[in-house]
Amino acid sequence: MRKILLGPPSITNDDVQAVARVVKSGNLSLGEETVKFELEMARWLGVKYAVATSSGTTALHLAVIAGQVQAGDEVITTPFSFVASTNCFLYEKAVPKFVDIDSKTLNIDVNKIEKAITKKTKAILAVDVFGYPAEWKQIIQIAKKHNLKIIEDAAEALGAKYQGKKLGSLGHPTVFAFYPNKQMTTGEGGLLTTNDKKIYELTKGLANQGRGKDMQWLKHEYLGYNYRITEMAAALGRSQLKRLDQLLALRLQAAQWYKERLSKIPGVNLLKTDDKNHQRSWFVYVIKLDKQINRDQVIIELSNKGIPAKAYLPAIHLQPYMKTYGFKPGDFPICEAESKRTLALPFYSDIPESTIDFVCNKLAKIIK
Ligand SMILES: Cc1ncc(COP(=O)(O)O)c(C=O)c1O
């Protein structure tokens, strides 16, 4: 039987040729592919500006700097995410103010945000976890009322819609990521979107060693970084973008195949379904097991049958390095409870229905 993978990318001959063409051209950095990739992504998302970067993490760091988040400032964020959504402001020595999550959406609980605001609060960094849009209307209202910056981490949510609008087009700085397990990949890569010209020019310059608007080669206006995407990565991104709508449709189909089978297995609970305001973009296929089921044992037994599955996501505040910030078990009980019972199953754009069948049959037997 073919080896089952957790979340491989979908790569076609066109993708390979697009990258090969760039490699042969010798223009490997700061060229046309990047310029076009940014324009095409901005157009697809329905936003004015896009800055392509070396990763989602570096794009997030730029959004934090553009938000003038500084040492000692507090940033309100979710503990149920990939660590980069917190690390990006720890780099600036800002302080995490985690707010527990909503157990249904797994996103930050907007009803708890205001209680966490202090005089030191500078920004709200919310994540659209597993591709499900956070409660942006309320987040924007709270941010306005308390004069806070907003940073959106939509690394997992390319193509998701909030109130009918694609994430990334709501106006505030939003970040996407293109690691190989994402809806679309550039190998490594990220994107920052904004409707604000100043933020665009600043982040574009910061990503390119702090060069100013005119991008003169040895003139540096700010303390900058090398967060540039390569031309090879941008070319792969452009090629993938041509198929993005199709890739998203395939993922939706795969999610439906899973849903048909998993909803019949006792003990397995599915992620929240879409509603009027929220349209998920399928990034990973995560299920929640009933509390009495030993999730880690299920993962081991799936692995014994050749099925990779992952405990996903561990709570950020319980990561070993977070101890230095004083967090401890029990601080965010809903996040901790959900993170103990969630697991990701194999999921990718080209996953065959027969593989999903196989995974679900084995899972049902193991749980029984
Ligand atoms: C929520 C979230 N934020 C940020 C990132 C970071 O992206 P990258 O791995 O491209 O740096 C990821 C990547 O998985 C993510 O899931």
Which tens digit of pLDDT belongs to each residue from 171-225?
999 999 999 999 999 999 999 999 999 999 999 999 999 988 777 778 888 899 9
Q: What is the pLDDT of residue 219?
A: 82
**218 Cα to the center of ligand 1, angstroms:** 31
**83 Cα to the center of ligand 1, angstroms:** 8
**366 Cα to the center of ligand 1, angstroms:** 31
Taking 50 as the pLDDT cut, the residues of the chain under it are none
Q: What is the pLDDT of residue 218?
A: 81
Residue to mutate (ligand 1; options 77, 78, 130, 153; most atoms within 8 A of CB)? 153
**84 Cα to the center of ligand 1, angstroms:** 6
Task: Determine the Cα–Cα distance for residues 241 and 253; give it in Å rounded to an integer.
Answer: 19
Closest atom of ligand 1 to 59 CA is 11
Closest atom of ligand 1 to 182 CA is 14
**209 Cα to the center of ligand 1, angstroms:** 22
Task: Determine the Cα–Cα distance for residues 43 and 169; give it in Å rounded to an integer.
Answer: 10
DSSP per position, 162-210: ETTEETT-SSS-EEEE--TTSSS--SS-EEEEES-HHHHHHHHHHHBTT
Task: Give residues (CB < 6 A) around ligand 1.
Answer: 55-57, 81-82, 84-85, 127, 153, 155-156, 177, 179, 190
Closest atom of ligand 1 to 58 CA is 11
**207 Cα to the center of ligand 1, angstroms:** 17
**Residue that has been written with the tokens 């005119």 in this structure:** 214
Q: What is the pLDDT of residue 1?
A: 58
Q: What is the pLDDT of residue 138?
A: 98
Q: What is the pLDDT of residue 78?
A: 98
Q: What is the pLDDT of residue 99?
A: 98
Task: Return the percentage of the chain with pLDDT > 90, whole number.
Answer: 95
**231 Cα to the center of ligand 1, angstroms:** 21
**188 Cα to the center of ligand 1, angstroms:** 10
**pTM score:** 0.98
Give the residue whose CA is nearest to atom 8 of ligand 1: 56
Residue 357 identity: D
Give the residue whose CA is nearest to atom 7 of ligand 1: 56
Given a contact cutoff of 8 angstroms between Cβ atoms, the answer to whether 160 and 21 are in contact is no
**178 Cα to the center of ligand 1, angstroms:** 8
Closest atom of ligand 1 to 127 CA is 1
Closest atom of ligand 1 to 177 CA is 10
Cα dist. 266→231, 288, 365 in Å? 49, 11, 11
Q: What is the pLDDT of residue 216?
A: 77
Give the residue whose CA is nearest to atom 10 of ligand 1: 56
Q: What is the pLDDT of residue 2?
A: 67
Task: Determine the Cα–Cα distance for residues 226 and 210; give it in Å rounded to an integer.
Answer: 9
